[in-house]
Structure 1
């Protein structure tokens, strides 16, 4: 199982590939595979056959997983892509912080 630095709900920017520079919200993280699905990034076209669940069939567009090494978290305060640091609060809880401004990223 790979250590993943992104969580569901984070805003991330893509560092490399055809979608380089795009920002989006993380919809799902699969830590065993080391991938994440980001809203509006790495879109694929799927042709769906009509079925009881999807009666009209047709062409749909959906997000495909991206390797988490290609993603960098965007800080909510300074708005810049940043590396993640870890600090301990006074009550002993470990939180993720922005390496640029020091702001706590976890809500």
Structure 2
């Protein structure tokens, strides 16, 4: 499978636009580029039943965030604080950066 460039990166604030967590916001913790999925802090929490191990001798039920599809989230622009689409733009030094399509400000600093 190929890896792709996405509209969000690790550390971005995103808003979920569909699914059971719709309209909730959170910070991107992990990206899985080959699968097209990401993990958002505090969202899509599942319960795992774990056996006792040397690292976790008590075992039991552990709550953790599960991955959601990257198409179900939108980036929250840091300058206008709204969920918006992003585009790519080349700047003077030749590098490509993301920009907000609502306020036309550069997202990558």
Partner of 1:56, secondary structure, is coil
| In 1, Cα distance between equivalents of 2:49 and 2:93 | 52
The CA distance in 2 between the partners of 1:55 and 1:76, in whole Å, is 42
Q: 1:2 and 1:64 mapped to 2: Cα distance?
A: 20
CA–CA distance in 2 between the matches of 1:100 and 1:93? 21
TM-score by length of structure 1 reads 0.95
What TM-score comes out, normalization by structure 2 length?
0.93
Structure 1: stretches of 5+ with no match in the other structure: none
**Residue of structure 1 aligned with 2:23, choices 4, 21, 24:** 21
Provide the aligned length of Structure 1 versus Structure 2: 107
* CA RMSD of superposed structures (Å): 1.0
Deviations 1:45-103 (A, max 9, x none): 11111101111212111010100000100000100000011111111110000001111
Q: Structure 2: state its 5+ residue gaps.
A: none
